[in-house]
Amino acid sequence: MYFSKLFGKTLKEIPTEADSISHQLLVRAGMIQQVAAGVYAYMPLGWRTLRKIEQIIREEMDAAGGQELMMPSLQPLEIWEQSGRLSSFGKTMFTITDRKDHKLVLGPTHEEIITDLVRRYVQSYRDLPLLPYQMQNKFRDEPRPRGGLLRVREFIMKDLYSFDVDEKGLEMNYQRTVQAYKNIYSRCGLPAVMVEADSGAIGGKASHEFMLVTESGEDMIILCPKCGYAANTEKARSIKKKPASTKPLPLEEIATPGIKTIEEVARFVGIDKNNTLKAVFYVADGDIIFVTIRGDIEVNETKLKNILKCTDLHLAADAEVKAAGLVAGSASPIGLKNIKIIADESITTGGNFVAGANKPDTHLKNVNYPRDFTATIVADIATASAGDQCPGCDGILQSQNGIEVGHVFKLGTFLSERLGAYFLDSNGVSQPIIMGCYGIGVGRLLAAAVEQNHDEKGIIWPLPIAPYQVYLCGLRLEDATVSQTAETVYKGLIAKGIDVLFDDRIESPGIKFNDADLLGIPLRLTISPRALQNKSVEAKWRQEKQAQMLPLDGIIDAVEKMLTDKSKR
């Protein structure tokens, strides 16, 4: 490709809209362009990289036994009603009405469609297992798109689905896919970490996410440096420090004028936060819920949501709290009636807590569970945090931000039962097909690769996903010797099947070198009068400081060797 003919321009200045590094660099490099909030066009350079990533994914999916297919983006609304996932997607679903007043959705994913296709095809256990996959646009009306390609409303996603006759088959396909994912990330230059994840309201037995650890990530992950335990905060378990155990003392009322928050209570009474009980009010599908947890711990809403099995959960608004007759700031589980109380397990460790008294400006001392109150449900609803002890060993947990670059689920039989995907087993008994699904956001992976691989000058593409492998830079192209040599080298490299971007512009060296760095093409070849005097060409890896001089004679083979050596490493 001749740079002078390229559709797309580099920008010297950072676009105001761009906040994350990947967004800034991708826009400045002319690889993507925003069309609407969370909607982007891939310009030729960006599209080349995207296609290279797709190809890597495709190769790994095929190697794992996958079969690629194509499914529609337009999907009938009914199938989503049937699967019961219309409400779980809620407003995130783009819906449209056709001219016959028929409701359709722009598919946010394709589990429903693929299950329907499989249902029509599979009759016997002999038709299984199946591993279909697809890479295509999905649509989600996210409440807030952000970070350039990191969270968008229209995006290309690879989804692989597994259909098996038994748990053993599911487990095998799960493990094979996990391995394929690891291969994909390493080929894209991403050190992704596999973590335990929440599978959401959809259910399923197990779920893992692949995370790229980085500051700009919107997810929080918990890691144990000692045993390798890793989980999304939504899912993470931990062992909290236990307060010293004491003998239960008699309940005692204390006046606490103007004292509301846990910090204030602890300071006022002169105790640690872990000797207090916190009260938090939620509304779950319209019902007010009283949640109590030790004062030093935060409620994990994902865990709470899973326990309540509700689709909507939010913190109660002041009006909702008042209407339920609760006293914010001095609320207490003691003496409450006709209200669901969910307690965290932490209340069973420690005792003689200070809690609210359900009277303004009053708290209770020496509250003990279960002597003074009972809970409807006692469960783990605690947020694990850095500094807690690992649930699996005596290590101390750490927390990091991460970008989710892949998610695998063991779905089980939820969807196959809902949508009627059954098969006859070898005994002639009808069984629901056991499903798994495995997703990778391709555009997000591209953005993550930039977040991970850049410097102050620009992107540093890993060789396998660079839009071009070689940046051929001609200096003083009005010099016929230079331009003829550059042209010959360009043609020679192309003949070898090497992707070359030939900077044939009449520009100053500074502009060309800066653009080369910004675009992040792995290998830069410079052809200039100065180098040609010694019958040589300068070669420089983007990621290295030092350039080297190669003899012009045999330059094509030398470059080819450099590239193949590089890709072996």
SS3 letters across 27-66: HHCCCEEEEECCEEEECHHHHHHHHHHHHHHHHHHHHCCC
Q: Does 483 bind RNA (CB under 7 A)?
A: no
Is residue 184 within 8 A of residue 440, CB to CB? The reply is: yes
* Nearest-approach distance from CB 17 to RNA, in angstroms: 4
Residue with tokens 């300071």: 267
Q: Which is nearer to RNA, 273 or 457 (CB)?
A: 457
Q: Does 174 bind RNA (CB under 7 A)?
A: no
* Nearest-approach distance from CB 9 to RNA, in angstroms: 7
* Nearest-approach distance from CB 257 to RNA, in angstroms: 29
- CA-CA distance, 510 to 493, in Å (whole number)? 24
* Nearest-approach distance from CB 343 to RNA, in angstroms: 20
Q: Does 232 bind RNA (CB under 7 A)?
A: no
Under DSSP, is residue 483 helix (H, G, I), strand (E, B) or coil?
A: helix
* Nearest-approach distance from CB 37 to RNA, in angstroms: 3
Q: Which is nearer to RNA, 112 or 517 (CB)?
A: 517
Q: Which is nearer to RNA, 14 or 227 (CB)?
A: 14
Alpha-carbon torsion angle 309, 311, 313, 318, nearest 10: -120
Stretch that binds RNA, among 30-38, 70-78, 170-178, 387-395 (CB under 7 A): 30-38
Amino acid residing at 57: I
- Comparing CA positions, the residue from 476, 410, 423, 25 lying closest to residue 203 is 410
List Cα–Cα distances, 285 to 117, 201, 288, 311, in angstroms.
33, 13, 9, 7
- Judged by CB under 7 A, which of 22, 238, 332, 526 binds RNA? 526
* Nearest-approach distance from CB 438 to RNA, in angstroms: 9
* Nearest-approach distance from CB 215 to RNA, in angstroms: 11
Q: Does 196 bind RNA (CB under 7 A)?
A: no
Is residue 29 within 8 A of residue 47, CB to CB? The reply is: no
> With contacts defined by CB under 7 A, how many residues of the chain interact with RNA?
66
Q: Which is nearer to RNA, 122 or 477 (CB)?
A: 477
Site residues for RNA, 270-309, by CB under 7 A, read: 301
Stretch that binds RNA, among 73-81, 115-123, 193-201, 320-328 (CB under 7 A): 193-201
DSSP state of 4: G
- Comparing CA positions, the residue from 281, 253, 282, 258 lying closest to residue 354 is 253
* Nearest-approach distance from CB 201 to RNA, in angstroms: 7
- CA-CA distance, 358 to 506, in Å (whole number)? 78
- CA-CA distance, 316 to 348, in Å (whole number)? 25
* Nearest-approach distance from CB 545 to RNA, in angstroms: 9
DSSP state of 28: H
**Which H/E stretch holds residue 289?**
strand 287-294
In 168-205, DSSP assigns E strands to 193-196
Site residues for RNA, 32-71, by CB under 7 A, read: 34, 36-38
SS3 content of the chain, % helix, strand, coil (to 5): 30, 30, 40
Amino acid residing at 466: A
Q: Does 205 bind RNA (CB under 7 A)?
A: no
Q: Does 457 bind RNA (CB under 7 A)?
A: yes
Q: Does 511 bind RNA (CB under 7 A)?
A: yes
Name the token pair of 417: 């039962």
Under DSSP, is residue 559 helix (H, G, I), strand (E, B) or coil?
A: helix
Binding to RNA by CB under 7 A, coded x per residue (else -) over 310-339, reads ---xxx------------------------
* Nearest-approach distance from CB 363 to RNA, in angstroms: 27
- 277-284 and 287-294 beta bridge pairing: antiparallel
Q: Does 372 bind RNA (CB under 7 A)?
A: no
Q: Does 515 bind RNA (CB under 7 A)?
A: yes
* Nearest-approach distance from CB 509 to RNA, in angstroms: 3
Q: Does 74 bind RNA (CB under 7 A)?
A: no
DSSP state of 422: E
- Judged by CB under 7 A, which of 2, 17, 41, 548 binds RNA? 17
- CA-CA distance, 276 to 272, in Å (whole number)? 7
How many CA atoms, within 13 angstroms, populate the side-chain half-sphere of residue 548?
Answer: 10
Site residues for RNA, 115-144, by CB under 7 A, read: 138, 140, 142-144
The residues that touch RNA, with contacts defined as CB under 7 A, are 9-17, 19-20, 34, 36-38, 88-89, 92, 109, 138, 140, 142-147, 151, 155, 157, 199-202, 218, 301, 313-315, 407, 409, 439, 441, 444, 457, 475-476, 478, 506, 508-511, 513-518, 526, 528, 530-531, 538, 540, 547
